[in-house]
Structure 1
Amino acid sequence: MEFQVVRDLVTAAPNGRVLRRFIRESALFFRMTAIVRDDDVRSGRLRIEGSRVTVLDVKRRVIDNDEDAHIVAGEYDLSMADVFHALAYYYDHRDEFARCEREAETARRDGERRTRETLERVESGRRETGEQAD
């Protein structure tokens, strides 16, 4: 039932302002762990302290895939406060996360383009020499 209230808040305020306020006020009743970054863990992605779960892991499951936060918390062995803290952190830094996701998408597309070009060069080299592809 409590998650339904949060879901209603998200629906009512897609910019996350109401959700952030709700989470901050609720955080007074819970001990939350910090959001940390360590280059040796999960390639330096922001994660929940004491776990390998990143802010984006939580965001993708709860926000993007519309999964129940209680289930996500249980599967990751996190407290509800940790899950909501990660979501609040995401909303507070949404522009930075969006920029990082755009950069990652650009890098992925560039990598795919370079792979296609390499494969085309290999194929054209085979055709020129008359080799058969395996």
Structure 2
Amino acid sequence: HTEMQRIDYNVQTPLQLARVDGRIDEDFDESIALEVIEKGSAVHCVSAYEGDILVLGSDGVFDNLFLDEIVEICNDILQPSKTGEFVPMPPSMLSQVAQRIVKDSHMKSDAQNGQFLDTPIGKGGKVDDTSVVVAEIVEWTEGHKEI
């Protein structure tokens, strides 16, 4: 897992991804964007192996779900191969994981029986736009060139 990308480690200021230039905002100043990128960005490298599941998400996911909750969702939906050999997961299964992560993220901001649930940023988390990509590491083959 990599650390959250925050400006000055403030929970309410995640790094933003945007595509803006003078055509969209006539007051756009590229130097400000460059400063945020230079001061606030980091590169994290981790080893990944065939069969590893990657979960990439926005703060709408990781502010509302603990890592063990995300692992539990993956384990509930993605069952290991019965033969012990690597068999790629069907894309529909990865999609189910992504949809469940979003659903569970949103549920954290709804009071259950008048009580807000615990989240990494406090009780009830925060209502936010939520993006998640769930992917599996597979070996690159010549057949992938055709896709």
Q: TM-score category by the smaller chain?
A: under 0.3
The structure where helix makes up a greater share of residues is 1
TM-score, with structure 1 as normaliser: 0.23
TM-score, with structure 2 as normaliser: 0.21
Larger radius of gyration: 1
Task: Between the two structures, name the one with larger relative contact order (CA 8 Å, sep ≥ 6).
Answer: 2
